Amino acid sequence: MITKEEVEHVGWLARIDISDDESYAYAQKLNSVLDYFGQLDEVDTEDVPPTYHVADIVNVFREDKVQDSMPQEEVLANTEHKHDGNFKAPRII
């Protein structure tokens, strides 16, 4: 059970000014959320496998294969901005 004083303390920690009426209302709302969690704790999940994503999505990974990279000339063929076998970028500093 969350009390009005606990809500005020959390508000003080977060540097939020909470009035007495607001702290009472927040305490009630937070307690209703905790009641829902209590209801969820009562559900039998013994035979339910863990779910890591709500949709049945599977990543498709390919096998890593070592292969030759593209030749440097081919990589630099589509740019005008090159210098000593590298891409030339604008000076930042």
Q: What is the pLDDT of residues 15-60, one digit of tens each?
A: 999 999 999 999 999 999 999 999 999 999 899 888 877 787 888 8
Q: Answer yes or no: are the C-beta atoms of 7 and 18 closer than 8 Å.
A: yes
Is residue 2 pLDDT above 90, yes or no? yes
* pLDDT at site 62: 87
Does 68 fall in a domain? yes
Does 92 fall in a domain? no
State how many domains the chain has: 1
User: Do the bridges between strand 86-87 and strand 82-83 make them parallel or antiparallel, or are there none, so unpaired?
Assistant: antiparallel
Does 24 fall in a domain? yes
Task: Report residue 2 as tokens.
Answer: 């969350």
Does 59 fall in a domain? yes
Does 40 fall in a domain? yes
Task: Report CA-CA distances (Å) from 46 to 29, 35, 42, 43.
Answer: 30, 21, 11, 9
Who has greater pLDDT, 70 or 53? Answer: 70
Q: State the residue range of the domain holding 65.
A: 1-83
* pTM for the whole structure: 0.48
Does 61 fall in a domain? yes
79 CB-near residues (< 8 Å, 6+ apart): 87
Does 93 fall in a domain? no
Does 33 fall in a domain? yes
Residue 92's pLDDT band (boundaries 50, 70, 90)?
confident
